[in-house]
Every structure is written in structure tokens, then in C-alpha cells.
Amino acid sequence: MDAHQAAEPSFRDSVDAMYRRAVKYVDLPPGLAEKIRVCNSTYTVRFGVRLRGEMQTFVGYRSVHKEHLEPVKGGIRYAPNVDQDEVEALAALMTYKCAVMEVPYGGSKGGLCIDPRAWTEEELERITRRFASELIKRDLINPATNVPAPDMGTGEREMAWIVDQYRRTRTDDINAAACVTGKPRNLGGIAGRVEATGRGVQYALREFFRHKQDVALTGLKGGLKGKRVIVQGLGNVGYHAAKFLSEEDDAPVVAVLERDGAVINPKGLNIEDLKEHLKAAGGVKGFEGGSYVADAASLLEAECDILIPAAMEGVINLSNAERIKAPLIIEAANGPVTAGADRILREKGVVIIPDMYANGGGVTVSYFEWVKNLQHIRFGRMQRRQEEARHEKLISALEEMTGKPFPVEMREAFVKGTDELDLVRSGLDDTMRSAYSNIAEIWRAKRDEGVDLRTAAFILAIQRIGLSYRSLGL
């Protein structure tokens, strides 16, 4: 352990330190600040699965940070370094995230200490089903009390196994599909959930760049177009954020950092091609659309306009914060900047769009999926054709009045009724925009008192959670 690691607090302590910094600005009755901060409970399970001729033991967690609103919500992570401290930190971030995004949930998180790449699909299915049964037994997976979702190392496939396991156990639960979100479409999933977190990062940046006075603090000029982006981690979140920003906003992704190294291209990388290469080769090395750099971490410190850490917690820490050159960081991952690094970056004037808002798109669309499951009908199913018929009538009336035919290309775009994906994106965009305006309002009002965007997001979350507790009479 070197000096900076020794000085760095644990992930949970880091989140706590950020919370304490913010709670000073909120007027709460005695004891409530502490009540909100602490993690309510963490369940640890050790279970065995007979694999490869012997009994293998796994350790899993489901932590519930706050349950002022139920169900509680948050993903399940599969990673070799998962431990109680990490799961509790992530559960706390979920509580604050749900409050900031105005999704009616408490915060939770789960984790399984496993390297998913070390096991076959069949083995992972057995392990997941066993882990799920342990959690189902204790109502730690249940549509009314605790609803997991994908996180690092898990995705639609794992959610499909979990919902199936729940159905087998609770055969008479008519709301079984709502026991987990991020499911495949054919099992009750919603259009746009896979892209949601990355899409949310894009919407957050678009919203930020709409506010000239906020952008001015970064020293950047103009809009999102042409801004040079560096993305760390091309997993689900990083991939979608990089893809949408480069393809739809003309913001070139000039470097991507991965496990085996990084690739750079000052003109912008083709994200689709890079993803294909990554899938086929297992790393970024050998990608022809950019040059390879072995020391990926050094690129966190490279010249760029927007830095997007989209993988692990703690990657920007006391060891590198001082050398970060990006004027704007958007936290697509949970907790990528440690409390110590946060202080250094604040002092340098770097603007950080914090995780609990920046990656809130995932849980927002999870909320839409859960509502869809409870209402047992897909969004748009009743009104889409009726909407189209109304638009057709309007066009015919216009044609009759003007005596001119409506241009064919325009007609198609205009007539098309909204489907589930359109509605999900519209709901997500609206949520990202209004959450930003609520946070930024606090930020602007208290900037002179040293409040940054992260602290403003915490303040908003604490105010809302405090209000719920007070209305409950607690």
C-alpha cells in the first residue's frame, strides 16, 4: 500500500464524507441527519453450488440503505472485489439517486463476489438461481419490497434467470414480473432500458450545455458539439454514452480506456467498430481505428473537454486528481471520484456532474419498467393508432384547405404515433432535465458558500428524504 492509498478512506467512508459536507446546509431535526446517513441493514449469504466436481462456496450481499419508500431499488453487481463496504456505499448512493431523480424508491444494492468470466453460462445460471432463491426467501427480491436490476457484471440474462426463479417460488404473485427490472423484452422488460444509463449521460450533458452560465465555470465555450470526450470503460454505460455523443452530438470520443490499455484517435474513434473489436479480441489492443497505449490510466490525465469515468469506483483518487486536465467530469459510474480527489478537483475549479444525477437514467427507466409490469400493459398500446388516425385527419384537412399535397417525407414523420421507446426516451429526457434544474437551482443559490454540483445534489436528496421522514412522523 502506498502513501495515497493509506490516506484514501474506504468507498463507504468517502460517500459518508460527501454526505456530511452537504448535510450542514440542510435544516433537519436532531438525529435525523444521522438516521438518513446510516445503512439500515446488510444481509450476507454464503451458499454452496456443486460445480466442476466439487462444492464451490460463494458470498453475496443485499444491503438496504433506506426504506422510507418501498420497494427499495438498486442493482446486483458481479465482481471479484465485492464486499460489504462497497455494497453499502452503493446502496447509499441509490437512496440519494432515487430522491434526486424523483423515483419513488428507497435505496438498496446487491453484490456477488465472483469473477463472471471465470464461469460458463450454464454455471452462472446455477449460481444466479441459487443466489436469487436465498434473496427471495427473505423478501430481498419482491415487487413490493425490494427490486434489483443489472449493475456491473450483470445484464438482461441474469435478470431473466432471477425473474424465472421468483415465478417458480411465488407462483400466485400476479405482479411477479415486477420483482426485478432490466429484464429482456419478452419477459416484461421495457424498450430502452439497456441504453438508459448511457442515454441519460447524453441527456445530462445536453442539459448542462443549455445553461451558458454553468458552462462558463468550466472555461469551455459553445455547445456540446465538437467537445473532445474521453471515456473510461466501454461496458454497457460507457459504450452507449460514447456511441450517442459521437454519433448524435458530434462530440468526438478521442480516447477509450479499457482493461488491457487504451486507444486514442484525435479525430474521434468509431465506437461501433471499437465495440466489435473489443468483443472479438477481448481487449482494445490491435484496433485499427486508433493508436494503442498500454498505460490506460495515464489517459485519465490527458487533455480533453469532457472526461467520462464509466467503470469502477475510486479511479480518480489522491494519486492522480492533481494531474487531471479535463475541465468537466461526468460520473457515469458510481463513485468514480473519491472524497479526497473531489476536494482537489473542486479547488482546481473542475466541474463534476455527480453520479447520483449523471447515471440516474438507469433507475429512471427501471421505474418505467416496474410501472409497466404493475399495469400489465405496454406504454402506448392503447393510444398509438388513435394518435396516427388523428394526425392523418389533420393532414387531410390541411391538404384540403391549401389545395396542396403534404410532402411525403414529412408526412411519415408527422403521422407516426408514439411507441414505447419514444415514450421511454421522452420520460427519461424530462426526468434528466427537471432533475438538473432542481440541482442547479441550489448550486447557483449557494455557490458563494462553496456549494458545488455534487453537494447541491446531496442537499436536494437530503431535503426530500428528510421531508418523507417528517411526513411519516419519524
- Please, which residues bridge with residue 62 across strands? 43, 110
| CB closer to ligand GLU out of 148 and 261 | 148
Task: Classify 106 in phi/psi space as left (phi over 0), alpha (psi -120 to 50) or beta.
Answer: beta
3-state secondary structure of 167: helix
Nearest distance from C-beta of residue 87 to ligand GLU, angstroms? 12
Q: Are 329 and 337 in contact (CB under 8 A)?
A: yes
Q: Are 469 and 37 in contact (CB under 8 A)?
A: no
**Is residue 333 within the footprint of ligand GLU (CB under 6 A)?**
no
Residue nearest to ligand GLU according to CB distances in the complex = 75
Site for ligand GLU in 148-167 (CB under 6 A): 149, 151
| CB closer to ligand GLU out of 41 and 383 | 41
| CB closer to ligand GLU out of 201 and 231 | 201
CA distance 89 to 335: 9
Phi and psi at residue 462, to the nearest 5°: -65, -40
Binding range to ligand GLU, per CB under 6 A, among 73-81, 134-142, 280-288, 292-300: 73-81
CA distance 232 to 333: 9
Nearest distance from C-beta of residue 326 to ligand GLU, angstroms? 23
**Is residue 141 within the footprint of ligand GLU (CB under 6 A)?**
no
| CB closer to ligand GLU out of 202 and 366 | 366
CA distance 105 to 83: 23
Nearest distance from C-beta of residue 324 to ligand GLU, angstroms? 23
Q: Which residue has the cell 464509466?
A: 310
Q: Total number of residues binding ligand GLU (CB under 6 A)?
A: 11
**Is residue 455 within the footprint of ligand GLU (CB under 6 A)?**
no
3-state secondary structure of 114: coil
Which stretches of 78-120 are DSSP H helices?
A: 84-101
- Please, which residues bridge with residue 45 across strands? 60
The only residue of 215, 234, 330, 363 in contact with ligand GLU, by rule CB under 6 A: 363
Q: Please pick, among 66, 73, 97, 109, the residue that the annotation labels catalytic.
A: 109
CA distance 388 to 357: 35
**Is residue 181 within the footprint of ligand GLU (CB under 6 A)?**
yes
The only residue of 128, 236, 366, 438 in contact with ligand GLU, by rule CB under 6 A: 366
| CB closer to ligand GLU out of 75 and 143 | 75
97 a catalytic residue:
no
| CB closer to ligand GLU out of 220 and 421 | 421
Phi and psi at residue 51, to the nearest 5°: -140, 145
- Please, which residues bridge with residue 146 across strands? 72, 142
| CB closer to ligand GLU out of 75 and 466 | 75
Tell me, residue by residue from 372 to 401, as one string, x for binding to ligand GLU by CB under 6 A and - for no binding: ------------------------------
**Is residue 73 within the footprint of ligand GLU (CB under 6 A)?**
yes
Percent of the chain that is helix, strand, coil (3-state, to 5): 50, 15, 35
The only residue of 74, 198, 200, 354 in contact with ligand GLU, by rule CB under 6 A: 74
Report in angstroms the alpha-carbon separations of 94 from 102, 212, 326.
Answer: 12, 30, 27
**Is residue 362 within the footprint of ligand GLU (CB under 6 A)?**
yes
Strand 351-353 versus strand 76-79 pairing type = unpaired
**Is residue 438 within the footprint of ligand GLU (CB under 6 A)?**
no
Report in angstroms the alpha-carbon separations of 18 from 14, 118, 337, 342, 439.
Answer: 6, 35, 11, 9, 16
**Is residue 75 within the footprint of ligand GLU (CB under 6 A)?**
yes
Q: Which amino acid is at 216?
A: A
Nearest distance from C-beta of residue 152 to ligand GLU, angstroms? 8
**Is residue 359 within the footprint of ligand GLU (CB under 6 A)?**
yes
Nearest distance from C-beta of residue 363 to ligand GLU, angstroms? 4
What are the catalytic residues? 109
Instruction: List contacts with ligand GLU (CB under 6 A).
Output: 73-75, 149, 151, 181, 334, 359, 362-363, 366
